[in-house]
Amino acid sequence: MELHVTPALTLLREHHLLDHTNKLTDFTATSVAYDSRKVTAGTLFFCKGNFLPKYLTMAREQGAVAYVAEQEYPEGGDLPAIIVKDEQEAMALLGAAFYGFPQDELTIIAITGTKGKTTTAYMADHILGRATDQHVALFSTLDRVLGNRPADRFKSDLTTPESLDLFHDMRAAVDNGMTHLVMEVSSQAYKKHRTYGLHFDIGIFLNISPDHIGRNEHPTFADYLHCKEQLLVNSGICLINAETAHLTDVYYTAKATTQPENIYLFARHGAAVQLPDGAAIDFEYRNDLEDLHESEFELAACSPKAQQLGIQGRYKTSVPGDYNEGNAVAAVISTALAGATAADAVATLDHVHIKGRMEMQKTRQHGTIYIDYAHNYASLKRLLAFLKRQTAAGKVTVVLGATGDKGISRRQGFGKALSEEHPDQIILTTDDPGFEDPMKIAREINSHIDHDQVGAVQYIMDRPTAIKAAIDSSSNGDIVVLAGKGEDPYQKINGVDTPYATDSKIAADYIDEIED
């Protein structure tokens, strides 16, 4: 892979991103990096984010051929400087060019939404896996999968990688023979232009509710919505869950760049959907059976273009929860648009299991334990409402905390969801407190709980102890919900990812210890 200075400047000019150059030479970059510690001879270095000029000194000393920045730095010395109007946009464009525009060799399904991205991504990945004989890459919050060898699968650091990493990984996927890619796109990715210039074949908009609003994320809900909607602006075919809040805004954003015949809407049968003028539902689904282990639903095609896809019929999914039916429907329609058949979806959907999403542990004497990644108002409310509907008689205990430094509105959201779904017992604990005091966070959650609506609330800040206390106090027919951490193997404390055994391991080990 390489990038010559001339096409690089042409690309920047075409996008009106080039401000000026200085000390320009006729260079060819043989690698690209935004981290000085990764610079080697021939690297084009990008100065971005909370950048410090000393990183440029390091990059120069390690053999960078040029740097791209929003301003000139004396630390650049005699290095050619490409000064751009937006560093993140320039980095995404030049990254795509350096890696030979790998997106052009992949059919890409991109997914956004406040909740359900990972679940939908895994479902779509399974369906497409069958349809393509396992030639699917997956970029999710949990795993990044670039091929079929064990070495091609690793844990993700971000939901949507930084642009240089994104295009690097796409190139690796293409070189590994992958033909399709399923990826989650976070609102932060659009905020930071990680996907600038990237066009998706199919873009899915699942839902939106207040989240990710705070100091390091989005200043307002309007900004959060705007960033999420950019996925539709950048997709050839748009698939929208019509039950989303702000449907009119979302639909008209899609319509601004996509003809209505390439916009598909779906909703649960009977849902109270206020359709925007000119819009119609293409697919409706109807729940046939739901229990704590699986769901069955019937998908009906309501429009001629929906009928052409040939996917109407019955589906079964092994990820319980009524909200997961909507995620499954999104996966079935989007993969059909990417070439899969109904048979591919029927054969795979009921074998999808996602770590930390509705994971269930049955015990002999302490009820049933659910480990779920629910970590905002919308997800906690839907999770508790579903579980209560399924097991009306038992006692429900919820163990949860809220993250520090970000998503501050979640504290109020948890208080509201708990008050509305009134569990019998709440144990407030620690969940990625960051630089904040977890007890202070827990008190804030508690201040938003309507104590007339819920059972006892206690504080146990050591999360394993909280989990054990919840299990100890439960018996047959009861439910213990371990919310918020999913399969996270760490607690983020004071800037350090402190190893954590995971909720599911702590619960399973404790059950082994106390139940013989």
Ligand X SMILES: Nc1ncnc2c1ncn2[C@@H]1O[C@H](COP(=O)(O)OP(=O)(O)OP(=O)(O)O)[C@@H](O)[C@H]1O
Ligand Y SMILES: CC(=O)N[C@H]1[C@@H](OP(=O)(O)OP(=O)(O)OC[C@H]2O[C@@H](n3ccc(=O)[nH]c3=O)[C@H](O)[C@@H]2O)O[C@H](CO)[C@@H](O)[C@@H]1O[C@H](C)C(=O)N[C@@H](C)C(=O)N[C@H](CCC(=O)O)C(=O)O
What residues line the site for ligand Y (CB under 6 A)? 34-37, 48-51, 55, 158-160, 162, 186-189, 192, 212, 216-217
Would you say 502 is a known binding-site residue?
A: no
The count of other CB atoms within 10 Å of the CB of residue 25 is: 10
Instruction: Give me the phi and psi of 316, to 5 degrees please.
Output: -125, 135
In 3D space, the residue among 355, 261, 263, 265 whose CA is nearest the CA of residue 302 turns out to be 265
Pick one of 55, 167, 323, 414: the residue that binds ligand X (CB under 6 A).
323
By CB under 6 A, tell whether 382 contacts ligand X.
Answer: yes
Pick one of 118, 363, 368, 504: the residue that binds ligand X (CB under 6 A).
118
Q: Cα separation of 267 and 70, whole Å?
A: 45
Structure-block tokens of residue 183: 């990826």
The entry of ligand Y, ligand X, none that residue 37 binds, CB within 5 to 8 Å by partner kind:
ligand Y
Burial class (CB in 10 A: 0-12, 13-18, 19+), 75: middle
**Which of 168/406 has CB closer to ligand X?**
406
Please give the residues from 207 up to 226 whose contact with ligand X meets the rule CB under 6 A: 207
Structure-block tokens of residue 50: 């909370």
Would you say 100 is a known binding-site residue?
A: no
**Which of 189/402 has CB closer to ligand Y?**
189
CB 140 to ligand X: min, Å: 7
By CB under 6 A, tell whether 119 contacts ligand X.
Answer: yes
The entry of ligand X, ligand Y, none that residue 162 binds, CB within 5 to 8 Å by partner kind:
ligand Y
Contact 296, 320 (CB under 8 A): no
By CB under 6 A, tell whether 407 contacts ligand X.
Answer: no
CA 288 to chain centre: 28
DSSP percent split of the chain into helix, strand, coil, nearest 5: 35, 25, 40
By CB under 6 A, tell whether 113 contacts ligand X.
Answer: yes
**Which of 283/323 has CB closer to ligand Y?**
323
Would you say 391 is a known binding-site residue?
A: no
CB 412 to ligand X: min, Å: 17
Contact 99, 86 (CB under 8 A): no
The entry of ligand Y, ligand X, none that residue 366 binds, CB within 5 to 8 Å by partner kind:
none
Structure-block tokens of residue 250: 């979302």
**Which of 186/207 has CB closer to ligand Y?**
186
By CB under 6 A, tell whether 378 contacts ligand X.
Answer: yes
Q: Cα separation of 337 and 181, whole Å?
A: 13
Query: Which residue, chain included where needed, has tokens 């359900």?
Result: 116
Piece of the chain touching ligand X by CB under 6 A; list 377-385, 414-422, 429-437, 461-469: 377-385
The entry of ligand X, ligand Y, none that residue 372 binds, CB within 5 to 8 Å by partner kind:
ligand X
Q: In 113-251, where do the E strands start and end? A: 136-139, 143-145, 153-155, 180-184, 200-205, 235-241
- The annotated binding site is made up of 36, 113-119, 159-160, 186, 194
- The annotated binding site for ATP is made up of 113-119
